[in-house]
Amino acid sequence: MGLLQCIERYIRLHGLLRPGSGVLVGLSGGADSVFLLLVLRELGFRPVAAHCNFGLRGGESERDEAFVRDLCGREGVPLFVERFDTTGTARQRRVSVEMAARDLRYAWFAELLEREQLPCVAVGHHRDDNAETFFLNLVRGSGLRGLAGMRPRNGRVVRPLLEVTRAEIAEWLSRRGCGYVTDSTNADTAFRRNKVRHDLLPLFRELNPSFDDTLAATMRHLAVAEHYERRAVAELYDRHLRVLPDGVQLCHLPFLAGSPVAEAAIHSLLSAYGFAPAVARDVFAHLDCGAGRLHESATHIVESRSMELEVRRKPVRFGSEPLSEGRCTLPDGTHLLLTRPEQVQVVRMRDVACLDADAVRGPLICRSVVSGDRFRPFGMRGTKLVNDFLYDLGYSRVDRLAAKVVCDGPEIVWVVGERPADGYAVRPETRRMLRIELLSWHPADIRNIF
């Protein structure tokens, strides 16, 4: 069977493209993407090219764009080109340049798919790329999913060339006299992928001339194992995973500590929220140690408690926000409603504070709880640290980070969502009342949903 027939069979086997359909092709100008573009057209598909100019390699970036424009013009292939401020985006988002480029690329691809009404974007990853990815994931500490390699389809991204080698691509292009551009950074072994490509893989091929076939077979076996692991993890989630407004919760940790699937479930869960594999390993290793372990990703916090594991969005903490009568929107997205009822009427609800208006001396503000905050809860004789007060009520560390207080100058009037301070609460002699209501979700309410 010829090379093109093998690719056509692979596309059909994995349901990547419908016969004769249009498809967006990520076209860098390198050998892999040029081969993909030309082969898809020869197989009867209708490719539309998309080229990203990230502006990272000076003259080479301009050369690549010019080459792609000339190629698509000669071949009669529609082309879209986009230029990105990759370095500026990386700085703004505080991520690596490589990550910024990847995010920009796929976000733009998604826009093009919608605008041009195309079913998917095809990219030129091939079998050698998959082998390199295997070792990169192995070094990072991946689970079965990473070791099984790239999938033929990931959402609307398809990879028709995963069974084609770099050598086969080069030979096909050479026989047809097809040109392409070469990224000079591909030879720089300071990059991990290049080190695997130029140093590590040749060593394995020296030890085993059939190493590429052997590794490909091994990755197929790992993909089968990963399929069954995924099913087991899904069943575990069905029994033990609860969705929260700002994250998720895994329950019954003592049971999970003895489950052979639990480590994979925790790894899969935490990786989805941006946590490194080392965090998942640490969390699993200490499942039976009770509360006290907390890790942060760029956007979320994971906390182990005595019976559960919570992954929650990082709380938005803020300084003094002035409050006035009516609806007040806080920086964390919650809302407080301040009113002055005509009659003094106490409402016994956690999300409502009924205050003696005459006890309030100045303008009220709302802010996040800070270390050392102390108040006298209504009904208590002495004062108490706010963090201790919340801890005694069962607040997790994330809940305590998200907690807010309403203050009258330096004095805490109300721990939002809990009790007002003793000196400000409505009493029998109160003549005028100030009512403050929390209108939106309070983190502690998670305890009461299920």
Spatial CB neighbours of 1, under 8 Å, sequence gap ≥ 6: 9
pLDDT of residue 292: 60
Tokens describing residue 439:
């209108």
pLDDT of residue 378: 87
Q: Using the 8-state DSSP alphabet, how is residue 419 labeled?
A: P
Return the CA Rg of the chain: 29
CA 68 – CA 71 distance, rounded (Å): 5
pLDDT of residue 280: 86
In the chain, what are the domain boundaries?
A: 3-212, 245-313, 321-448
pLDDT of residue 254: 66
Pairing of strands 22-26, 121-122: parallel
Q: Where are the beta strands (DSSP E) in 209-279?
A: 241-244, 247-251
pLDDT of residue 309: 86
The H or E element spanning position 195 is: helix 192-195
pLDDT of residue 427: 84
CA 103 – CA 259 distance, rounded (Å): 36
pLDDT of residue 447: 34
pLDDT in tens, 403-450: 999 999 999 999 999 989 988 988 888 889 999 999 864 444 433 322
What does each C-alpha distance from 30 to 3, 26, 60, 116, 182 come to in angstroms? 19, 11, 12, 24, 6
CB 23 within 8 A of CB 17: yes
Locate tokens 């807010």: which residue?
404
Neighbours of 123 (CB within 10 A): 24
* Listed residue (313, 311, 295) closest to 251, CA to CA: 311
pLDDT of residue 442: 44
Is 50 buried (19+), middle (13-18) or exposed (0-12) by CB count in 10 A? buried
- What string of pLDDT tens digits covers the 450 residues of the chain? 789 999 999 999 999 999 999 999 999 999 999 999 999 999 999 999 999 999 888 889 999 999 999 999 999 999 999 999 999 988 888 888 888 999 999 999 999 999 999 999 999 999 999 999 999 999 887 778 889 999 999 999 999 999 999 999 999 999 999 999 998 888 888 788 999 999 999 999 999 999 999 999 999 999 999 999 999 999 989 988 999 888 898 887 666 766 778 888 888 899 888 888 888 888 888 777 665 678 888 889 998 876 788 899 988 999 999 998 899 999 988 899 999 998 888 777 888 999 999 999 889 999 999 999 999 888 787 889 999 999 999 888 888 999 999 999 999 999 999 989 988 988 888 889 999 999 864 444 433 322
In a 13 Å sphere around the CA of 153, the CA atoms on its Cβ side amount to 12
pLDDT of residue 440: 61
> Superfamily assignment of 3-212 in CATH?
HUPs (3.40.50.620)
Is 108 buried (19+), middle (13-18) or exposed (0-12) by CB count in 10 A? middle
Q: Kindly give the interhelix angle for 127-140 and 211-240, rounded to the nearest 10 degrees.
A: 60
Q: Using the 8-state DSSP alphabet, how is residue 435 labeled?
A: E
The H or E element spanning position 167 is: helix 166-175
pLDDT of residue 444: 41
CB 244 within 8 A of CB 446: yes
User: In sequence order, what DSSP letters do the residues of 67-115 get, joined into one string?
Assistant: HHHHHHHHHT--EEEEE--HHHHHHHHT--HHHHHHHHHHHHHHHHHHH
pLDDT of residue 408: 93
